[in-house]
Structure 1
Amino acid sequence: MDTWYYSPYPEPYNSLEKLYLCEYCLKYFGKKKTLLRHSAKCDLRHPPGDEIYRAATSPTIAVFEVDGKRNKVYCQSLCLLSKLFLDHKTLYYDVDPFLFYILCERDQQGYHIVGYFSKEKCSVEGYNLACILTLPPYQRKGYGRFLIAFSYELSKKECKVGTPERPLSDLGQVSYRSYWQRSVLELLYTHRGQLSIKDISDRTAIRTDDIVRALEVLNLIKYWKGDHIISVTQRVIEEHLRILDKKKVMGIDVSRLHWTPYVPANAVGKK
């Protein structure tokens, strides 16, 4: 797989033209024969965390939650791998404060990493996503949008509104704007436009200023007497959805999401 950016792998690996990675534990090697010897002994066939979601239909995908503190080496290796494809990524080794949600395709050999997003365990700013990546072989298949949608499903479980950490990359801005627009339009279509921005935020877990930004791009909002007012007809909603429906969307069956929000150790037992 060709890479796009420099990643600070330790010596002597950072000076090699080619690296070999175990796709299950993400350990890296300088020679193919060393990887093959490792693969013969590596018994890991999925990310080292809890499986919190598994789709019932094809493609058979699953999501694992991996704690950066409990599985430090794995998460550091994941961050180093992702830096090869993300220009602005700065987190490599300080993974303790983060949870990692690894999206995999499953077959008879095991669980193969498609992409992931990370999330602060306790975000003062209300971020529900810190970093997101879909590996190049799996891009343009709807997995990026799935990861974004998954981060908001977790926010709903937490009974919070969320937003991604800034700054967003150019691709991130495009992906999020598309997700916000579709989520808002689908909700407005169902309720025939009779919702306020606060109503939409409560139902989608999307922060109000992100909703406003998405509606502004679509020219579906007006500022009147100090408030943002949604100004839209059912026909206009249908026209926008018709354009968005051309894009591949992979749904989430929330009944198959088995997840409990993170509780800090020092909060256990407090009232």
Structure 2
Amino acid sequence: LPQLLEGGHPHTHVETLPSPSSSSSSSSSRSSCSEFSVKELSQESGIKCDDLVSTMQYYGLLKYWKGKHIVLRRKELLDEHAKKLESRKGSPATLDPSCLQWTPKTYPMYT
């Protein structure tokens, strides 16, 4: 965690790469790369930086490679998630919006 956040600083950019089994050549892997910062992801999702990083580490999605932090799109993890979603299609959860009373916590901005 400190390695990614550089002492708690969430501006580290990470690059996403497809899993090795999802592409046949390294040039196609490079063309599908994208970069984002943990801070940007945190702001977009409303999830704390520490929680994002620890979750990615828990699922083995975060690697340090060639001087960059890499988020791997692991095919087996995506397949497992798709299978769970498929099994839920027959009985979707119902939610009464009038019962929701939630206010997201605000966190100080890092500058």
TM-score bracket, shorter-length normalisation: 0.3 to 0.5
* Bigger radius of gyration among the two: 1
More helix by share: 2
Higher relative contact order (CA 8 A, sep 6+): 2
Task: State the TM-score, normalized to the length of structure 2.
Answer: 0.37
